[in-house]
């Protein structure tokens, strides 16, 4: 059986610590199972674990610019791709905003057997605005509100109206504010029958 590779410190100076192998151990004497650790003087860290995980801590701004040599006239040219073979991709801005800007933005779901949903929840105002045409197409549509529904402009209706029961008891607004997706979806499914 081959001998394990010994730990090795590549650099340890006022600017950076670069170490191959474990760095210390916990109270029980268990090592932290690291392959490579990088720590800079500003406190930024990049850690590669023996589990295959990678962790980065950036104390300030982190920026990445790609695609300098790509032809912008070519549609479909990939400048940046993030692919998760398994698991979720999570974007969280704890005290900031998430902004997306592009020539076009395409969002597609591909789940099967009750999946493939696209859900948006806001505890404030939700706006959809366009200078062009706004189209909504669905096999069936249900709009639920606990208050008034106002339409401003000319309306052209093809079909008829059927009066149903009040939805004030649906309680879906409180579910949105509480972030309770299960209760929200249940209320909507019970109301939109």
d(C-alpha 74, C-alpha 163), whole Å? 52
What pLDDT does 169 receive? 46
Q: Exposed e or buried b for every residue in 152-187, given b needs 16+ CB within 10 A?
A: eeeeeeeeeeeeeeebeebbbbebbeeebeeebeeb
pLDDT digits (tens, 9 = 90+) for 3-23: 566 678 999 999 999 999 988
Span between the terminal Cα atoms of the chain, in Å: 67
d(C-alpha 111, C-alpha 185), whole Å? 17
What pLDDT does 160 receive? 78
Q: pLDDT higher for 115 or 37? A: 37
What pLDDT does 148 receive? 84
What is the percent of the chain with per-residue pLDDT over 90, rounded to a whole number? Answer: 47
pLDDT digits (tens, 9 = 90+) for 83-122: 999 999 999 999 999 999 999 999 999 988 878 888 888 8
- What does the mean pLDDT of the chain come to? 83
> What 8-state DSSP symbol labels residue 6?
P
33-37, 111-115, 149-153, 183-187: segment of lowest average pLDDT: 183-187
69-83, 147-161, 163-177: segment of lowest average pLDDT: 163-177
What pLDDT does 149 receive? 84
């Amino acid at each position: 059986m081959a001998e394990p590779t010994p730990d090795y410190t590549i650099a340890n100076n006022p600017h950076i610590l670069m170490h191959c192998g474990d760095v210390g151990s916990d109270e029980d004497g268990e090592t932290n199972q690291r392959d490579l650790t990088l720590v800079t003087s500003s406190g930024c860290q990049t850690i590669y674990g023996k589990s295959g995980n990678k962790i980065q801590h950036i104390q300030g701004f982190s920026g990445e610019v790609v695609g300098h040599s790509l032809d912008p006239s070519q549609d479909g040219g990939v400048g940046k791709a993030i692919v998760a073979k398994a698991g979720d991709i999570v974007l969280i801005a704890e005290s900031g905003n998430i902004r997306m800007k592009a020539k076009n933005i395409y969002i597609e779901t591909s789940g099967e057997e009750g999946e493939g949903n696209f859900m948006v929840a806001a505890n404030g105002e939700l706006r959809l605005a366009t200078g062009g045409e706004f189209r909504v197409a669905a096999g069936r549509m249900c709009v639920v509100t606990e208050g008034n529904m106002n339409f401003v402009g000319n309306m052209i209706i093809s079909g008829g109206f059927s009066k149903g029961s009040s939805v004030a008891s649906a309680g879906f607004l409180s579910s949105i504010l509480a972030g309770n997706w299960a209760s929200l979806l249940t209320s909507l499914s019970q109301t939109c029958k």
